[in-house]
Structure 1
Amino acid sequence: MIAFALRLALSGGREALARLAMITAAVAIGVGLLLSTLASMNAVERTNERQVWLDTGAASRTEQSSADPLWWWGHGDYYDGNPVTEIDVAATGPTSPVPPGLTRLPAPGEYYASPALAELIRDTPADELGDRFPGRLAGTIGNAALASPDSLIAVNGRTPAEIKDAPEARAVTTIADTRPARCDHACWGNEVRGDALTLIYSVVAGALIFPVLIFIATATRLSAAAREQRYAAMRLVGATPRQVSVISSVESALAAAAGTMAGFGVYAALRPLVATIPMTGQQRFFLSDLTLDAPQILAVVVAVPLAAAIAARLALRRVTVSPLGVSRRVTPRPPRAWRLIPLLAGLGELAYFVLTDSRPETGNGQTAAYLPGFLVVMLGLVIAGPWLTMVVARAVAHRTRRPATLIAVRRLADDPRAGFRAVSGLVLALFVTTATVSIIGTINENRATLDGDPQTRTVVEAGSGDRAPLADAVPTRLLADIRAIPGVRGAAVAHANPDGVGAPAHPGPHQDPPALVTCSDLTQTPMVGHCPAGATVTAVDPYAFAGMQSHPDQQWPAAPISPAAVAELPVQVLYVATDGSTTAMERVRTRLATAYPRHQIRTVDDQASDQQRSLAGWRKLADVVLMTTLPIAGCSLAVSVVAGLSDRRRPFALLRLTGAPLRLLQRVIGLESALPLLAVAAISTGTGFAASALFLKSQLQYDLVSPSTSYYAFVALGLVASLGIIASTLPLLRRITGPESARNG
């Protein structure tokens, strides 16, 4: 029977081969996208594994070995807003451990750089970047130690005396090869850690895999009605239900298997493009990271054809029970209102955490709590869709008298499952898009940080807590060199204030004493504020130099201390104002980095850049969702509409023979697709807003922020494009509803 089914599938004439080719192509696209999604998940994990060595100096690590200790100090830097990770190392013996990606440890006065950083150093003037690193470039760091081709990492060779007194420097005997359970302030890697990784998996799974699976399921139902009629004819001439099921399953599985194999070719073609997409919101992937595990390959190869065979078997229930009923297209039972229960249950699960204020404390617990709610809502939309389609169709039928509308809504009311099936992928994509954009947009709105001032600042500061002041005094030559850099508008020296001179009478809890700045220096940096008239020294809030509490109109109080006395105090901050150009800022940063190698040098933009980069990553992830789910849903819609036209060509041909104009039939097709699309899409979008609002309230205590106009424009464009897809299939109606179609029924 299997051999007969294969012969029937391959020898059924041009129509059977065309149907097989259409199903194969559609499944290939879906499988290619599915494999790309799975490979992206694997790439995120491999990216993390390759950069755990950067956490070697983390305080939470206690690994010990008999190797000679290696002094290790990890610290951060920036160039033009991009983070640069530096690891200073100093060997104490011949067996000191060597980081991955290196053949040996750099000697004092040498450094290794990642290929991207080495290229940047070559292409940038030395006084803007290269002078920050010791001596000569000894070589490049191998890919085994890099998260991305764009990673900016340097391993600097130092002597033990140069490192051991640096903040958070440690002597280690092993290089980290596993992620720490928690990341303290000494973790310098950029990896996507536990909870965030789980969140990314969840977003990608919900946003991409669901629409892809619906697309594959839609593709395997191409020409379903024609095949049902053929199988019904087999039943009438004596074929048993088992034989018909085997033939149907083999034919569907054959097309799905061919599409699955072709899907690997689609995946291979998509890999270079997928590698450029920052799925983690940070940097692009190495192409070699986009690989599939054997279990994943096996699961796709087996599951897709198996799912197609099961779908074909379920689609033949009416053939098995009543072949004549299928041949005459009896009206199926209408969907019941119970289909709303899963949708309401999913929303209720999310609302539970709002009403009880009992969200889990851990990230994994929160994922386990919230993700099922979203998945149940998505499943509920698919289950409730046919009932909602039927309700809308019946409501429209009571309010219209136009022939095309009456025919369309009558057909929808009779078989709402088929009507909703065509738009189910788009409806689900709209929910995922709405929820993703709403959540990410609200987080961005609530966590947005400053973007710097028109006159961007470069700051070198000593830090706080047990860190020593910057210096007893700033060398006059250093100040002269900095002020001579083109683009520098002024420099101010802020002194430590151990006696609290000029501090408020009643300072707030944990409030640091103000820094002392001479008014002659403050006039060079007017964006920080100004002195009162007649004052020579002022007490400035230390956070003003970070851009948090400063404004040109801010007047700081006078401090009862002389400039000479201030000059004797340790320097807490050296503050430089530039014109904001990259050249000026990076020259100042390089000059300060060489003068104060153990202190943090940063601009006000750097303070914002880390958080803004993270938020930008979420925006990119939202863009990935937008640009992926809607096209997939559009493909599902196109396949469904074409399949529907093909399945109903004989009824439409008969209507044309009886005098129905072609334009009338085209309006019927358009309304059958557009009505459930617009109606259920509105419900899906509203559900997306509701689910995201519940999540934001319970998880982050944020009120939902309405998405920007670009979201509404994109959704409107997606709906218009969907209607355009429907309209583009209407010319096919003339070709497939000729008299020969009526004769061949």
Structure 2
Amino acid sequence: MNARQWSRDLAMGVRFAFAGGREGWFRATLTAIGVGLGVALLLLTTAIPNALAVRHQRDVARADYTYVFGHPMKAGEKTFVVADIDTPYRGADIRGRMIQREGAQAPVPPGLTKYPAPGEMAVSPALKRLLGSSDGTLLRARLPYRITATIAESGLTGSQELAYYAGSDNLAAHIDPPNVARIDHFGSPRSPDSESDPVLTLLVLVVFVILLMPVGVFVAAAVRFGGERRDRRLAALRLVGSDGWMVRRIAAGEAMAGALLGLVLGVGFFLIGRQLAGTAEVFGTSVFPSYLNPSPVLAALVAVLVPAAAVLVTLFTLRGVVIEPLGVVRTAKPARRRLWWRLLLPVAGLAALYPMIGQGRGGGNFNQYLVTGGVLLLLVGVTALLPWVVETVVGRLGEGAVAWQLAVRRLQLSSGTAARMVNGIAVAVAGAIALQMVFAGVEADYTKRTTNDLTRAQMSVQVPDGVQVPDVAKAMTATKGVLKVVSIADGQAGDKDKDPSQTASVSVGSCASLREIATLPSCHDGDAFALKGSDSETDSETAKLLTAAEKHGRTLYLNPAYVGDIHHGALSRWTVPTGLKQAESRKDPTGYERGGFLLTPGALPRGASTAVQGVVYLSIDSGVRDATEYVINTAVRIDPLMQPETLTSVERDGQFESIRTGLFVGAAAVLALIGASLLVSQLEQLRERKKLLSALVAFGTRRRTLSLSVLWQTAIPIGLGLLLAGVVGLTLGTVLLKMVGSTVRVDWPGVLAMTGFGAAVVLAVTLLSLPPLLRLMRPEGLRTE
């Protein structure tokens, strides 16, 4: 046997696939569609790293946070002023920047050809569509600028990103880094690479392995579509003189033909999917089609491995099939599948992962090769164990209704085919269960509970310089959906007007507002209080400042100046009243506990309103739709630089959330692929049994009985597959949790949810296969040419 003979036999198989009449074309097309779907997803997956890299590059190129604290930049030929005016809208984040050009040589923002003039703005295509739709009514009131330009792709991170640049001519007067800063270029300065989190790196690696493994299983199954009919056709080749190995190579060539056609279809599906990806947004993430360019090396690897896998899988599956001139011996009782070598795969996977137990943040990084190999071996163990489990279980199933007996007998005759159909879903569910356990186990490390008390306030508004706190409170009180407004203005008091040695905080508000931050004995406008009870150090500073004030006629200075600081607001003198009342400190709605002094508006010296900066806390009526949008619109109407904040009970790490989002996106794509593969495989199985179904109907078998038998044929192996997936998934999840040093805890709701998703996919596929099943169950199907 030589390479020439191999190539000749493979080429003959390719010719049979395309010149073997309707039967050959149908099988080649069926295989090509299955392989094409898998190849498309593989190409999309290999393009993801490049897409993420391009998104990051675009984001870095337009970054405008280059201000260095303590070294304010002077206006020049290359400078411009930029303000961060990001805003949320109905759950979506909108990137907003207000810019003012100061010098003729100031760089233009990426994606623009010129600076927008005051009152004008440049918007992203997605934002332009939103503003022009009926859903953008409230947003149009928030952005009262005339659209004069569209941001090009080079200035955006995704096709569905909402972003805009608004022009201004008075930003320089409001410089307050980092929200409003003067800079001379776009792009983040190069910083030393920070040490990566080994746990997050492990999550990324495992996510990729677990999402790609079902795709590989599906591609391997797709090249075996129509195998039984193909094997019967091969018997004719034996009749004309071909030996056993020759017909096997011809069969491999026929499968390779379908795989090669699948590569072509896969490229087409990929190009279609890439264009569709440019119009979609999944979990807040979008890309431009140009971002999805697969790595040439990985794409070449896919192009080589898929046809090679088709040949190897075909040769492997034909090892137990005897193809003789008078037929194919497949129905004889096969030898029982051995268990020992199937158990070696998951055991080897556990052995590869065992040395890394306890590694992670405190023990170093994980070996990516051992992680990849160990996870792969465990998941491949599912595909190896499932045929044995199905064969063992269905071999012991016996009496029952007619539909049950038909299903069980069919599974007993072809348990391998049944297991092959559900291998992909079993692998996907096993991986999803493991990841769900890991995410649930480490979530606490990347989730921080805030001190916000959402029963007292749900939003807060920081009042910028130049805006009076009472004016903001009054406007918010009149805003639709606002139930309660608490306004506090904070400042500082010192014993000197410049560089004071003793300082304390000063908070100004109405009696009702002050009661939100302190327990007051009694309160009237004009009263002042000294706070105690926040902590001993703060109380001591307040007492020292009062002692210092006694030396200067009980006079303190509000908003004292410090050398080198950008000083805002006027300096005011405050005479501490005799018999100053005492008040007990209380945490505000954000959990902050103030010290120092409390003043009502009547106790504040004349002209001292600019010496304090305010915050307004809002209680929102949850029954009013878009209540938060009304609040933001009111704030922007008062001052475009004012940014209300929605208070939350928890804060999650951005990288952790990005990885979880990537998992959901990938899982959705893999489940869709698996559903499509199951449907194609189910239709192929029904087509193989067309004459048998017709014969049963002709002999009087009810269609309901046959439909139930088909349902049982799917439900039994799926049930076994999900059970095995649960065991392997829990095992893998436990090992991964021990690797990252987290407490092993089974997230049963998550496990049940993942299993339920897998079962739902199978149920949907079964329902979709019922119409063609009913068409096949006709006595006319017995007719032949």
Q: TM-score range by the shorter chain?
A: 0.7 to 0.9
Q: How does 1:45-56 map to 2 (within 5 A)?
A: 45-55=53-63
CA deviations on 1:195-216 (whole Å, 9 max, x unpaired) are: 9799567535632x33333333
More divergent stretch after superposition (293-302 vs 50-59): 293-302
Alignment match of 2:153 (pick from 143, 148, 160): 143
Q: 1:233 to 1:140 in 2, by over 3 A?
A: closer
Equivalent residue number for residue 383 of structure 2: 382
Which AA in structure 1 matches 2:487? Answer: A
Q: Which has the larger radius of gyration?
A: 2
CA deviations on 1:636-682 (whole Å, 9 max, x unpaired) are: 33444444455677999999999999999887766554332211211
Which AA in structure 1 matches 2:87? Answer: Y
Q: Does 1:683 align with 2:724?
A: yes
Alignment match of 1:342 (pick from 329, 340, 345): 345
Alpha-carbon separation, structure 1, partners of 2:459 and 2:698? 79
Alpha-carbon separation, structure 2, partners of 1:205 and 1:118? 39
Equivalent residue number for residue 29 of structure 2: 21
Matched position secondary structure for 1:357: coil
Alpha-carbon separation, structure 1, partners of 2:454 and 2:65? 32
CA deviations on 1:453-490 (whole Å, 9 max, x unpaired) are: 5864332068xxxxxxx68x947666655656566543
Alignment match of 1:9 (pick from 4, 17, 37): 17
Return the offset for 1:142.
1.9
Contact 2:323 2:329 in 1 (8 A): no
Return the offset for 1:3.
6.0
Q: Does 1:430 align with 2:429?
A: yes
Q: 1:402 to 1:588 in 2, by over 3 A?
A: closer
Alpha-carbon separation, structure 2, partners of 1:517 and 1:400? 83
Contact 2:422 2:678 in 1 (8 A): yes
Equivalent residue number for residue 633 of structure 2: 587
Q: How does 1:88-487 map to 2 (within 5 A)?
A: 93-105=103-115, 112-117=122-127, 129-130=142-143, 139-148=149-158, 149-154=160-165, 162=173, 166-167=177-178, 175-176=186-187, 182=193, 203=207, 206-207=210-211, 209-235=212-238, 237-240=240-243, 243-279=246-282, 281-292=283-294, 294-295=296-297, 297-318=299-320, 326-327=328-329, 329-330=331-332, 331-332=334-335, 334-347=337-350, 356-360=357-361, 365=366, 372-394=373-395, 396-397=396-397, 416-440=415-439, 452=454, 456-460=458-462, 474=468
Matched position secondary structure for 1:334: coil
Q: 1:306 to 1:348 in 2, by over 3 A?
A: closer
Q: 1:5 to 1:404 in 2, by over 3 A?
A: same
Matched position secondary structure for 2:485: strand
Contact 2:87 2:93 in 1 (8 A): yes
Aligned CA RMSD, in angstroms, stands at 5.3
Q: Does 1:706 align with 2:719?
A: no
Q: How does 1:515-526 map to 2 (within 5 A)?
A: 516-518=507-509, 520-522=511-513
Equivalent residue number for residue 507 of structure 1: none
- Give identity over the alignment, percent: 23
Contact 1:650 1:737 in 2 (8 A): no
Alpha-carbon separation, structure 2, partners of 1:347 and 1:284? 37
Alpha-carbon separation, structure 1, partners of 2:505 and 2:736? 41
Q: 1:496 to 1:253 in 2, by over 3 A?
A: same
Which AA in structure 2 matches 1:46? Answer: V
Alpha-carbon separation, structure 2, partners of 1:72 and 1:566? 34
Provide the aligned length of Structure 1 versus Structure 2: 689
Q: 1:266 to 1:111 in 2, by over 3 A?
A: closer
Alpha-carbon separation, structure 2, partners of 1:298 and 1:697? 37
Alpha-carbon separation, structure 1, partners of 2:760 and 2:86? 42
Alpha-carbon separation, structure 2, partners of 1:94 and 1:557? 47
Which AA in structure 1 matches 2:615? Answer: L
Contact 1:42 1:292 in 2 (8 A): yes
Q: 1:498 to 1:343 in 2, by over 3 A?
A: farther
Which AA in structure 2 matches 1:19? Answer: R
Q: Does 1:494 align with 2:505?
A: no
Q: 1:170 to 1:515 in 2, by over 3 A?
A: closer
Task: Give the gaps of 5 or more residues in structure 2.
Answer: 1-7, 70-75, 496-502, 536-584, 622-626
CA deviations on 1:32-80 (whole Å, 9 max, x unpaired) are: 444444455543333222221233545899xxxxx96545656353243
Contact 2:508 2:598 in 1 (8 A): no
Alpha-carbon separation, structure 1, partners of 2:363 and 2:310? 39
More divergent stretch after superposition (268-277 vs 118-127): 118-127
Q: 1:613 to 1:287 in 2, by over 3 A?
A: same
Q: How does 1:629-644 map to 2 (within 5 A)?
A: 629-644=670-685
Alpha-carbon separation, structure 1, partners of 2:267 and 2:434? 31
Contact 2:508 2:599 in 1 (8 A): no
Matched position secondary structure for 1:459: strand
Which AA in structure 1 matches 2:428? Answer: A
Contact 1:515 1:541 in 2 (8 A): no
Contact 2:46 2:299 in 1 (8 A): no
Which AA in structure 2 matches 1:691? Answer: L
Alpha-carbon separation, structure 1, partners of 2:415 and 2:352? 28
Equivalent residue number for residue 646 of structure 2: 604
Equivalent residue number for residue 78 of structure 1: 87
Alpha-carbon separation, structure 2, partners of 1:592 and 1:204? 48
Alpha-carbon separation, structure 2, partners of 1:724 and 1:633? 15
Return the offset for 1:586.
1.5
Alpha-carbon separation, structure 2, partners of 1:359 and 1:562? 52
Contact 2:534 2:595 in 1 (8 A): no
Alpha-carbon separation, structure 2, partners of 1:557 and 1:610? 23
The alignment's TM-score, normalised by the length of structure 2, stands at 0.70
Which AA in structure 1 matches 2:177? Answer: A
Matched position secondary structure for 1:421: helix
Contact 1:234 1:244 in 2 (8 A): yes
Return the offset for 1:176.
3.0
Q: Does 1:30 align with 2:41?
A: no
Q: 1:86 to 1:328 in 2, by over 3 A?
A: closer
CA deviations on 1:595-632 (whole Å, 9 max, x unpaired) are: xx5xx733234x57985998887776565455443343
Equivalent residue number for residue 575 of structure 1: 616
Alpha-carbon separation, structure 2, partners of 1:195 and 1:92? 46
Equivalent residue number for residue 522 of structure 2: 534
Alpha-carbon separation, structure 2, partners of 1:602 and 1:127? 17
Contact 1:129 1:587 in 2 (8 A): yes
Contact 1:89 1:163 in 2 (8 A): no
Matched position secondary structure for 2:618: strand
Alpha-carbon separation, structure 1, partners of 2:157 and 2:666? 23
Q: 1:156 to 1:303 in 2, by over 3 A?
A: farther
Higher strand share: 2
